[in-house]
Structure 1
């Protein structure tokens, strides 16, 4: 990715007013100094999505999405930072510098570009073949499967005819040399037979990356022949474990979840029925690479695999992988039909949507599959089943989450909650995985310590928002607190930028601070820092009291934190701690009086 200086990033960002840009995607209504609209990142009926012209930031109080104009394009368009910069620079008429590459890197980049070019040429050739006389077999197959001309065009479907060197000869005529054609995965080169096509007598499915570039192909044989489905081999531009069929289209869907299928035709049938959020793995098992790719675009995946034994096994493999990536998984039940294509042909899109709406929780689906291994009418079988369930429930480390699932299972199988909970705890103690939590002598459980920490984080967040909303508070609080008193690492970095901007420029530019952070999650959290909800306090004395309490909390926490982490040999740090402790009395006596 090209390196852009902070100055250039700020030039591009400040040249694009955030209200103007977001208004092109979201209908906004001005209320006071802020614009509000329905959040484009989650479903809602009451607008909680705010866009501040003054701060040049957006923030959703419903789902927590937030950032500056660059972040918005990255989140809404699922664009990379570079792509967002290029779009915004183009809008503003700003020319971005081109990246300088080493000789070897330039050669690799050129070869990648030529391989992409070959794939594009091949895709156009297959596309044309399908619509010619020699492609009649392929066209009959697609129309027989109920595909419209528009959907065939949308997915660029094609046909590789019956001659096994047809594409090779065509690409040679276009000037591509054998070594490059071999690397493309479209052709094999044999000394005796010459060039031979990888695909022939097959209907063709171009595989595109998220930027709509053709990186490989899938082909289904016409008539008898093995294998039934054939994919391009892995190449410099095609990695099966890091790409998903249809994701180039599904990533732009406004639906808040992704439908994960098994095959090309399922994806195409779903898109044709209006489900533009369907994707499939590329003839390989679902991997963590696939899950991490999906995480860029969604937090929820609905597995809509075949309803046969192989499909159930595929779902059981995919669920833990999705969970590991931090994605919520649900299972769509299509029985008595085999797959989404067959289901929609039989019952239609509305019925399929109903199946999505009633999709099973992935853990409950696993329990239902597990149930099939036991005879619940037999007492011994029933006991074995509950023992197996108890062992699975130990996968949940959080007691609250585990208890929620114990309750759900107890209700479904009509067994007592307390009996099942005790079995889980007994099982956990026996295998050394879980222990029943006991209160400490103080009466506070270990797990309850975190809310206290969260409370301090909230105080630090509140202080940053307050400083941003009312710059006068810098003058009042600076004798007592500074960036070093924000003990959360991310908050401290933000505070350092806030204080530096105020000291150097006399004002704070929060949108510029967001650009200092590379990770989208960090940008979102920083946006949240500047949007803590300030309590509506009616009297001046209450405002002053609230501010003073917040400053005291921050300082006491800072002293405690530094005391715990102080190096005994750090005499300067020790002296600062002693001075700060002495100044706490002065802080408690201080008056924070200001007018807004």
Structure 2
């Protein structure tokens, strides 16, 4: 729920221009009274993302994302409602009141603050340990990896003691109790052994969040122990799937893209060599959460994964995740070396820069990796490979122009007959195979679920609400026949109630404010759709007056059928049928 009064929320929203805010993230172009651009919430080639300055709302006709300026920041920047208000308030000149936190809120805030403090204390402890006699082995390791003193300092590198309870004793000495230490990700508390460290005899890599706070650690064992690398477990302040190593530094780069690596040392070596845009996922496969974080800062990502089989598989998994997030992707070829760290040491920064300039188009990389699975000396296997390439082109690229370009490039590079490949692609298209929807996961889920029978009725109700907002004069002509009670229970009825209330008062409908009545993201999407139904969807080649009357009749008949089915009293049914009969005789003029 909101932390501020409705009056404060309303003041921030009305003083904020949604077009100004969204244009900081999306390249918008004005068309008529609205602005359009490429949707930031799914990958698309043609702009179906609209922003209405009149309604102070956005809506994507492709994926259905929609809402007001608060919704946008909540979805794009992963903010809470409170954080979105606090982000916008100072920019529009609103001073937010200081609110006394509840006991539970204060407890949670204090707890998170203490967890950050513990991680900061641990980072300082490890940092000093590396520069003591006990840190000689770890320092020798970092020196062997050719890291400079400046790099060690920049990344806050350190090490643990060889003893398994040294950090625990240190933190206890600082006044931290077992109750909080057991949840910080660095200490294990059990009845037999008491408190002991999760990291010991390891070189330590602090993990910073995007704001520069230490949220976790990675540790490399000194010697032959297992596991070789160990990360902090997830805690209240550390989410692996949304944290990228090196992001705090990379977000300040002047380069237009990020380099995505697999390991700590790859990132650190690249930064030391001048590539201050390198980041890495934390020993885990790239997730949608990681891609969402990347999308906040860049539109282009260059993969610099290991060149071995495991690295190639990781790249093939990462490419579609990045594409679905709307990120353009290329792959850096580091052969004959395994990873960026080895490459930099062997050939230097200039050669790596050349590899960046010659990075491979991600689709061409996918085809090259696919080729390895086929024996091209066998005509049957060769044909199978070429057919699969054609299928990839059809399903990956929705436009004829893209298909033509990739057909030409793939045919030339992989020695496939250009004309034959083109013809087979046309055959696949004619057989019904089409490009994947950019918002594939969500849309495939929708396709697998049968559409409810009342979809047409929902469309009619959406259409009427959009119509009422865009042409308020309609309200006076319909108020006698249709009321909010005629709308579907739930979001539809709540929205209709608000719209009718505004119109009965003779006020302009504040659609953006209505959005704020709903806290669930899916409800906000529904509300946005209610106010962005295209009249042309139901009224192509039809007289608008006739279309409005038919829409009203559908809604009223459906409402009466439901009322009768649910056992409504006879008086209300009779009254409803009289209204329907009058509506049937009525002639609208718009």
TM-score (norm 2): 0.66
1:93 to 92, 96, 99: 96
* Closer, same or farther: CA 551–240 of 1 in aligned 2, 3 Å: same
Q: How far apart, CA to CA, are the structure 2 residues paired with 1:256 and 1:474?
A: 51
Residue number in structure 2 paired with 1:12: 9
Q: Structure 1 pair 139/523, CA: closer, same or farther in 2 (3 Å)? A: farther
Residue 526 (structure 1) shift: 4.1
Q: Structure 1 residues 374, 70: closer, same or farther in 2, change over 3 A? A: closer
Q: What SS does structure 2 have at the residue aligned with 1:101?
A: helix
Aligned equivalent of 2:158: 159
Does the aligned pair in 2 maintain the 1:70–1:84 contact within 8 Å? yes
SS in 1 for 2:216: strand
- Work out whether residues 189 and 196 of structure 2, in 8 Å CA contact, stay in contact via their aligned partners in 1: yes
CA distance in structure 2 between the partners assigned to 1:523 and 1:349 by the alignment? 46
For the 8 Å contact 1:78–1:297, the answer to whether it is kept is no
Question: What is the CA distance between 1:496 and its match in structure 2?
Answer: 3.3
Partner of 1:502: helix, strand, or coil?
helix
**Residues 167 and 328 (structure 1 numbering): CA distance in 2 closer, same or farther, change over 3 Å?**
same
When residues 14 and 59 of structure 1 are mapped into structure 2, their CA distance, relative to the original with a 3 A threshold, is farther
Q: Deviations over 1:151-172 (max 9, x none)?
A: 7666x42212555355344323
Cα offsets for 1:83-123 (capped at 9, x unmatched): 22455578523234524439xx96x8866654443112112
Shift of the 338–457 alpha-carbon distance from structure 1 to 2, 3 Å rule, reads farther
After TM superposition, the score normalised by the length of structure 1 is 0.66
Give the aligned partner of residue 539 of structure 1: none
Secondary structure of residue in 1 paired with 2:142:
helix
Question: Which residue number in structure 2 is paired with residue 495 of structure 1?
Answer: 496
Q: Which of 493-502 and 33-42 deviates more? A: 33-42
Unaligned runs of 5+ in 2: 434-446, 537-541
Correspondence list, 1:138-157, <5 A: 138=139, 141=142, 149=150, 156-157=155-156
**For residues 495-545 of structure 1, what are the alpha-carbon distances to aligned partners after superposition, in whole Å with 9 as ceiling and x for unaligned?**
33222233357342222111122244654664565567899xxxxxxxxx9
Residue of structure 1 in register with 2:539 after alignment: none
Aligned positions of 1:332-481 closer than 5 A:
332-336=331-335, 338-340=338-340, 345-347=348-350, 351=354, 354=357, 359-361=361-363, 365-385=365-385, 412=411, 413-414=416-417, 415-416=420-421, 419=424, 464-479=465-480, 481=482
Instruction: Give the CA deviation at 1:127.
Output: 4.1
> Aligned partners of 1:466, 1:216: CA distance in 2, in Å?
52
2:588 is aligned, of 587, 590, 593, to 590
- Indicate if the aligned counterparts of 1:304 and 1:332 stay in contact, CA closer than 8 A: yes
After the TM superposition, which residues 173-572 of structure 1 pair with which residues of structure 2 at under 5 Å, given as runs? 173-177=173-177, 180-181=180-181, 183-187=183-187, 197-200=197-200, 202-209=202-209, 213-221=213-221, 227-234=227-234, 238=238, 240=240, 243-246=243-246, 260-268=260-268, 279-286=279-286, 290-292=287-289, 294-295=291-292, 298=295, 302=301, 303-318=303-318, 330=329, 332-336=331-335, 338-340=338-340, 345-347=348-350, 351=354, 354=357, 359-361=361-363, 365-385=365-385, 412=411, 413-414=416-417, 415-416=420-421, 419=424, 464-479=465-480, 481-483=482-484, 493-504=494-505, 506-520=507-521, 522-523=523-524, 526-527=527-528, 530=531, 547-555=544-552, 557-558=554-555, 568=565
Contact 1:35 / 1:50 at 8 angstroms: preserved in 2? Answer: yes
Q: Which runs of 5+ in 1 are unaligned?
A: 429-445, 536-544
Aligned-pair CA distance for 1:311: 0.5
Q: Distance in 2 between matches of 1:17 and 1:220?
A: 52
SS of residue matched to 2:375 = coil
2:39, 2:131 → 1: CA distance?
39
For the aligned residue pairs, the C-alpha RMSD in angstroms reads: 6.0
State the aligned residue count: 540
Distance in 2, matches of 1:178 and 1:185, equals 12
Give the 3 Å change call, closer, same or farther, for CA 579–511 of structure 1 in structure 2: same
Give yes or no for contact 2:112–2:236 (8 Å, CA) kept in 1: yes
The one-character-per-residue Cα deviations of 1:218-255 (angstroms, maximum 9, x if unpaired) are: 02356776544222245565554564435667789999
SS of the aligned residue for 2:373 comes to coil
- Post-superposition shift, 1:551? 1.6
Q: Measure the CA separation in 2 of the matches of 1:333 and 1:224.
A: 31
The change in CA–CA distance for 1:258 and 1:83 in structure 2 (over 3 A counts) is farther
Q: Residue 122 of structure 2: SS of its match in structure 1?
A: helix
**CA displacement at 1:371 relative to structure 2:** 2.3
Q: Secondary structure of the residue that 1:230 maps to in structure 2?
A: strand
Distance 1:574 1:192, change over 3 A: closer
Verify: 1:120 aligned to 2:120, yes or no.
Answer: yes
